[in-house]
Amino acid sequence: MRVPMSWLRELIALPADQSGRDVAAKLIRAGLEVETVEEIGGGVAGPLTVGLVREIEELTEFKKPIRWCQVELANGSVNGIICGARNFSEGDLVVVATPGTTLPGDFTITARETYGKVSNGMICSERELGLGDDHSGIMILPPMSAKPGDDAKPLIGIGEEILDIAVTPDRGYALSMRGI
């Protein structure tokens, strides 16, 4: 059974400094089998920001369709970002890795010239963030869930610790969050 630490904290009063490994050690002492403690998006270092797509310009002079996006970040600042994904539109909230952010696979985001424009960041998909295998398009956040410039990590679960507990037949009560 996969147990998110944030959910466990909703049910019991855990000290803020108590890590998933600390809780795992206590659960093991109580007789449960904790197989792993994993951190979601553990390969991400640096800021991930909520961005609001203000404008999209289609660049058609290349072999594949490319979009030049104007994305609003904090305090009305706008970054120009090149993106090949087609599943988003103007007005969408997206997750942006700004220059200096390192994504899984030790890929550091920098401002770089590509397709004749300077791309100042990256609009991210689940796979690029290490959250899943979906690379069919970028992550779109629910409308009104945040505002441009907000930290995107807590919104998408990056940094969340998950305990993977092997529930043995004699511990059936541990098949629920309350039982854990």
pLDDT for the residue numbered 62: 84
- Percent of the chain beyond pLDDT 70? 100
How large is the average pLDDT for residues 80-89? 96
Is 13 exposed, middle or buried (CB count within 10 Å of its CB: 0-12, 13-18, 19+)? exposed
Least confident window among 33-37, 60-64, 124-128, 139-143: 60-64
pLDDT band at 65, cuts 50/70/90? confident
pLDDT category of residue 133 using cuts at 50, 70 and 90:
confident
CATH of 2-40+160-175, picked from 3.40.50.180, 3.40.50.620, 3.90.79.10, 3.30.56.10, is: 3.30.56.10
Q: What is the pLDDT of residues 8-36, one digit of tens each?
A: 999 999 998 999 999 999 999 998 999 99
Q: Give the pLDDT band (50/70/90) at residue 64.
A: confident
DSSP 121-160: SEEPPHHHHTS-S--SS--EEPTTS--TTSBSHHHHTTT-
Question: Between residues 75 and 48, which one has the greater pLDDT?
Answer: 48
User: What are the structural domain ranges in the chain?
Assistant: 2-40+160-175, 48-156
**CATH number of the 48-156 domain:** 2.40.50.140
**The whole model's pTM is what?**
0.81
Segment among 38-47, 75-84, 96-105, 143-152 with least mean pLDDT: 38-47
Q: Which of 92-106, 113-127, 128-142 has the lowest mean pLDDT?
A: 128-142
Q: Report the relative pairing of strands 161-166 and 33-39 from DSSP bridges.
A: antiparallel
